[in-house]
Structure formats: structure tokens, C-alpha cells
């Protein structure tokens, strides 16, 4: 690791936090209650800014604005090509403000600045351009019915979409949500995560310049139990999309069912297997397994958090995986060269440390790490466990931190059975130089994404979503549009 002493003087970001109010009907406004909450710097736990705290009344105001924009405003009525041009302008503006947005994202989340600036904000831009391209390619069909009828289907926007996003990839999740919804002509009330409100509010400031009519996209900062729950229960919200924990996903489904039965898309947790077969290129597998788990401080829903290694290559893999973890550069996320910053907050830090203790107590071997890095903020040393068994909590629960669990297996059938014996089914990595082995595994695994000899390869075109308790529905790609469209059949006698 880098030296912990370097953390004593956190680098001061050079961007102003100008936008801290709610964004409703095209205006930055105070919350109805006048309340605010602090957003904290994960490097120190200190306050970055006080943010207007939205609750039920603000959700009502935002939904009313989104409803009016949908029922009476120009957005669903303009040509799809016009909508496409506005989304392209928004993408251009975000690209122009790349460095300011990446700075806010790093400050609010603790993720390395290079990751925010060179990977995530460019992915946001790419995704908005991708869905801008779809706007005028969304169309229905004519259907040869059994009778003298002309039958056509119209693909129409659903209406007001409620969207709730997490703190691990704030602006990326924002774009996954708003891109397809806007391309289809919906209007939106989006609630950011209470830990990370800053980047979405910065982008709110660019919407008018992009040409987005007022009320089309409303952004509410606030807490899950108040603002989030009000959005989910609202009778005038036509659709919900959520990314976050499986427990909260259950609550959201319940709130939707008890109110107006609005359809719900869920992207939830995971415990993704990363399978290294005996014929894998070991050095590539070690590097990719390291990346699969430690990327974004281990705070990824699809993190490769169960590393299954064939017994013939287990010892070699373990030694190299441990050496790689020891080389990982932990430090101030604004410092160039930093690979790993702090965890998001004290709650997550405590949860991860509890899992590390549980790993030790249940008999796994702590190869390296396992403790705080430095004294300030929420940094954790990259941690590797070997001798992990399937029934240990560290092999079953989503830890959401920099903790790699390495497990040994003997043959293909066994690893398929063990990899599938999870309540989650989000993603998997498969490492083998034999195309038959790789494809056999890919077909047998009950997960929404299989990466063969790679991991975390994301593109706007590739659908993403979970089997089992990892979620419902798919985001991104053409599949992502289906969440935001109604199908209307129109029948005319011939």
C-alpha cells in the first residue's frame, strides 16, 4: 500500500459546491420543510455541504411537475428526433464539464479521481448518446390477425417514472435510469442516494441549456424511508426503477403493490462467482479476479466476490492474488496513482469489518489485510481470505467491500453446483482457455451476465440485470427501453 501518513492532509478539491437545493419543475428550490442534511467526505467524515432534504411534500411537488410535463408539456409530443437532439446536447454538456463532475463524484464517494474522470463520466456520456440514437427508432408493428382487421401496435411512454439510485456509482446509475426513460418520452422524478447527492445536482444545472423542458426531470435529494418511500407509494407515479440492496428492493415492490400496482424494475445485490479453471491463463485470471473484487473499493453489485479456483492451480493463484493485493495502492482518491480510496461511510466500514471478523471466526485464513488503513476516514486494507467454505457468511452475503474470498474446487459439475447455490444471480466470471469449458460454464450458470476471460466489461449496448434475488428486468441496450414503454394494440376493420 502507499503510506497511511499521506492521508493526514487530504487534497483539497478545486470545485465549488454550488447546487445543493432540490430540482423541481426546472428550478432549484428549498425543501418544503426547510430541513437540510450533510453530505460527508469519506476521506475524513467531514461535511462537504448541507443539502436540502426532500420528503413527502417535495415528492408531491415533483410528481405534480412531472405529471404536468407529461400530460400537457412538449416532451412526449415533440418528434422523437427533437428528443434525440436534446439528449445529445446533454451528453455534450456533461462531456464539457467532465472534470468538475468527476471531482464532485470523487469527493462525495471516495472513488479514485482517474476512475471517475476517465471511465465513469465518459460512460455516462456514451450511454446518453446511445439512447439518444434510439429515440427515433422506437416503433410498433403491424400484425397479421386472423380476420379482416388491420392490427398495429404503438409503443408509447408509460408516463411519470420514479427512479431511485444508490451511492456506489451515482452519476452512472443516474444515466442508466434517465437515458432510456427520456428517449421513450417519459417524465421523471429521481431520488439520489443520501450519501451522494452532488453530481446529479450539478447535471440538473445543465438541463435547461440542453433544452430539456421544465418538469421533465426532477431531482430530489433525501432519505429512503421518507422521500424514497413516498415516491414508491405515490398514486400518480406510473413506473419505478431501483438500484440498491435486495432488502430495500423487497420494500419497494411491496410499496408499489400496495399503492397503484406500478411496474417495478430492480437491480439488486450479488455474490458473483469468479471461476478459474485449471487451463486458465493464471496471470490474467489473477489480475482480473483482483479487479473484479477490488474495483470501486469492492462496492459493486456484480463484484466477483467468490473466487473459485481449480485445485491444480490453487496454490499458484493464491500466492499471486495475495501479492497483487499487497501491491494495491490505497490512498487519497485525488492523488494520481491511487487504486483504492475509502469506503463510502462509517456504516459500510463497520459492516465490512464485522464480515472480516466473521471470516476469521469461522475458520477462513486471513492472508493479508483485515484492518483499517490510516486513522482517518473509512479506508480498509485490501483483504484476502483463503480456505473459504461455501457455508461461511463471507461466501454467502454481499460484503460490499475490499474482501476477496478464495475457494477451492475439483471439477466442472461441482463448481457449477456450488456457484449456483446462492440466492443471488447477477453475474459471473469464467476463466479457461478451452472454449467448450468456458461455454459449458456460461450456459450452466444462473446469472444475468457471464464474462468469459474478462470481467466488468460494460457498454451501453449490453443488457444488465439479475436472476433470482439479484433483480427483475434488464437495463441498458435495447432491452432497457422495454421498462419505459407501454404497448397499445390498435385494431381497425378492413
What amino acid positions are annotated as catalytic residues? 267
Q: Could you say which of 53, 194, 339, 475 contacts ligand NAD (CB under 6 A)?
A: 194
Stretch that binds ligand NAD, among 130-138, 143-151, 218-226, 455-463 (CB under 6 A): 218-226
3 state DSSP class of 73: coil
Q: Read off the DSSP letter of residue 493.
A: E
User: What is the closest distance, in whole angstroms, from the C-beta atom of residue 187 to ligand NAD in the complex?
Assistant: 19
**3-state SS class at 450:** strand
Q: Which stretch binds ligand NAD (CB under 6 A): 56-64, 142-150, 240-248, 476-484?
A: 240-248
Task: Report how far residue 270's alpha carbon sits from residue 303's, in angstroms, rounded to the nearest whole number.
Answer: 7
Element (H, E) at 347: helix 346-361
Which parts of 390-419 interact with ligand NAD (CB under 6 A)? 398, 400
Rounded CA gap, 309 and 317, in Å? Answer: 8
22 binds ligand NAD (CB under 6 A): no
Q: Which stretch binds ligand NAD (CB under 6 A): 142-150, 164-172, 289-297, 354-362?
A: 164-172
Closer CB to ligand NAD, 135 or 266, in the complex: 266
Q: Which one among 47, 145, 154, 225 touches ligand NAD, defined by CB under 6 A?
A: 225
CA distance 343 to 377: 8
- Is residue 90 involved in binding ligand NAD (CB under 6 A)? no
199 is a contact residue toward ligand NAD (CB under 6 A):
no
Q: Do residues 101 and 248 make contact, with C-beta atoms less than 8 angstroms apart?
A: no
Which of 54, 166, 331, 359 lies at the binding interface for ligand NAD (CB under 6 A)? 166
Please pick, from the candidates 164, 200, 445, 460, the single residue that binds ligand NAD as defined by CB under 6 A.
Answer: 164
Contact status: 223 vs ligand NAD (CB under 6 A): yes
244 binds ligand NAD (CB under 6 A): yes
Among 24, 204, 220, 229, binds ligand NAD (CB under 6 A): 229
Q: What share of the chain is helix, strand, coil (3-state, %, to 5)?
A: 40, 20, 40
Determine which residue in the list 152, 251, 387, 440 makes contact with ligand NAD, applying CB under 6 A.
Answer: 251
Residue 46's CB: how many other CB atoms inside 10 A? 12
According to the binding rule CB under 6 A, does residue 180 interact with ligand NAD? no
Strand ranges (DSSP E) for 277-417? 306-310, 365-368, 383-386, 403-409
Q: Rank residues 195 and 307 by Cβ distance to ligand NAD and give the closer one.
A: 195
Sign of the CA dihedral 301, 303, 305, 308?
positive
CB of 167: closest distance to ligand NAD in angstroms? 6
Q: How far is the CB of 277 from ligand NAD (least distance, A)?
A: 27
What residue has cell string 483499517? 372
Contact 24, 67 (CB under 8 A): no
**Minimal distance in Å, beta carbon 110 to ligand NAD?**
14
Q: Please report how the helices 121-134 and 170-183 are oriented relative to each other, as an axis angle in degrees rounded to 10.
A: 10
The answer to whether residues 220 and 227 touch, using CB atoms and an 8 Å cutoff, is yes
Interface with ligand NAD, residue 296, by CB under 6 A = no
Among 73, 179, 228, 369, indicate the residue that binds ligand NAD (CB under 6 A). 228
Per-residue interface string for the shown chain with ligand NAD, residues 305-344, x marking contact by CB under 6 A: ----------------------------------------
Of positions 48, 252, 460, 481, contacts ligand NAD by CB under 6 A: 252
> Is 448 strand, coil or helix?
coil
Rounded Cα gap, residues 195 and 210, in angstroms: 27
Q: What is the DSSP letter of 228?
A: I
Do the Cβ atoms of 320 and 348 come closer than 8 Å? no
Is position 466 an interface residue for ligand NAD (rule: CB under 6 A)?
no
201 near ligand NAD, rule: CB under 6 A: no
How many Å from the N-terminal Cα to the C-terminal Cα in the chain?
A: 75
- Give the rounded distance of the alpha carbon of 24 from its chain centre: 24
Task: Determine the Cα–Cα distance for residues 94 and 267; give it in Å rounded to an integer.
Answer: 25
Task: Give contact residues for ligand NAD (rule: CB under 6 A).
Answer: 164-168, 191, 193-194, 223-225, 228-229, 232, 243-245, 248, 251-252, 267-269, 301, 348, 351, 398, 400
Amino acid at each position: 500500500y502507499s503510506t497511511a501518513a499521506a492521508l493526514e492532509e487530504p487534497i483539497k478539491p478545486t470545485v465549488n459546491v454550488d447546487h445543493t437545493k432540490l430540482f423541481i419543475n426546472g428550478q432549484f428550490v428549498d425543501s418544503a420543510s426547510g430541513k437540510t442534511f450533510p453530505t460527508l467526505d469519506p476521506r475524513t467524515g467531514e461535511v462537504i455541504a448541507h443539502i436540502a432534504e426532500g420528503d413527502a411534500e417535495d415528492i408531491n411537488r415533483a410528481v405534480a411537475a412531472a405529471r404536468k410535463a407529461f400530460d400537457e408539456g412538449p416532451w412526449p409530443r415533440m418528434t422523437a428526433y427533437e428528443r434525440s437532439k436534446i439528449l445529445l446536447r446533454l451528453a455534450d454538456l456533461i462531456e464539457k464539464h467532465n472534470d468538475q463532475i468527476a471531482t464532485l463524484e470523487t469527493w462525495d464517494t471516495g472513488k479514485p479521481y482517474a476512475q471517475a474522470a476517465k471511465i465513469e463520466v465518459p460512460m455516462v456520456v456514451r450511454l446518453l448518446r446511445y439512447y439518444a440514437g434510439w429515440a427515433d427508432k422506437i416503433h410498433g408493428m403491424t400484425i397479421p390477425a386472423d380476420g379482416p382487421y388491420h392490427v398495429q401496435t404503438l409503443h408509447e411512454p408509460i408516463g411519470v417514472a420514479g427512479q431511485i439510485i444508490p451511492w456506489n456509482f451515482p452519476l452512472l446509475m443516474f444515466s442508466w435510469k434517465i437515458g432510456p426513460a427520456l428517449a421513450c418520452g417519459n417524465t421523471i422524478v429521481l431520488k439520489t442516494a443520501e450519501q451522494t447527492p452532488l453530481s446529479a445536482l450539478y447535471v440538473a444545472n445543465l438541463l435547461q441549456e440542453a433544452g430539456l423542458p421544465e418538469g421533465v426531470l426532477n431531482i430530489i435529494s433525501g432519505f429512503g424511508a421518507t422521500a424514497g418511500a413516498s415516491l414508491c407509494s405515490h398514486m400518480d407515479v406510473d413506473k419505478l426503477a431501483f438500484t440498491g440492496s435486495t432488502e430495500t428492493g423487497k420494500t419497494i415492490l411491496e410499496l408499489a403493490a400496495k399503492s397503484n400496482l406500478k411496474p417495478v424494475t430492480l437491480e439488486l445485490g450479488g455474490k458473483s462467482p469468479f471461476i478459474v479453471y485449471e487451463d486458465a491463463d493464471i496471470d490474467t485470471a489473477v489480475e482480473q479476479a483482483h479487479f473484479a473484487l477490488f474495483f470501486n473499493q469492492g462496492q459493486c453489485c456484480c463484484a466477483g466476490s467468490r473466487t473459485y479456483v481449480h485445485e491444480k492451480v490453487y496454490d499458484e493463484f493464491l500466492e499471486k492474488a495475495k501479492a497483487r493485493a499487497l501491491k494495491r495502492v490505497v490512498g487519497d482518491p485525488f492523488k494520481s496513482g491511487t487504486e483504492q480510496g475509502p469506503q463510502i461511510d462509517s456504516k459500510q466500514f463497520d459492516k465490512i469489518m464485522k464480515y472480516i471478523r466473521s471470516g476469521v471466526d469461522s475458520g477462513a485464513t486471513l492472508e493479508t489485510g483485515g484492518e483499517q488503513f490510516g486513522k482517518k476516514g473509512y479506508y480498509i486494507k485490501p483483504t484476502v481470505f483463503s480456505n473459504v467454505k461455501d457455508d461461511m457468511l463471507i461466501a454467502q452475503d454481499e460484503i460490499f467491500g475490499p474482501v476477496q474470498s478464495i475457494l477451492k474446487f475439483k471439477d466442472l459439475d461441482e463448481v457449477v453446483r456450488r456457484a449456483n447455490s446462492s440466492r443471488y444471480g447477477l453475474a459471473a466470471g469464467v476463466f479457461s482457455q478451452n472454449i467448450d469449458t468456458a461455454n459449458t460454464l456460461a450456459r450452466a450458470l444462473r446469472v444475468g451476465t457471464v464474462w468469459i476471460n474478462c470481467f466488468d466489461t460494460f457498454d451501453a449496448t449490453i443488457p444488465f440485470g439479475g436472476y433470482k434475488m439479484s433483480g427483475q428486468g434488464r437495463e441498458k441496450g435495447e432491452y432497457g427501453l422495454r421498462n419505459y414503454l407501454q404497448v397499445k394494440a390498435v385494431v381497425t376493420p378492413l
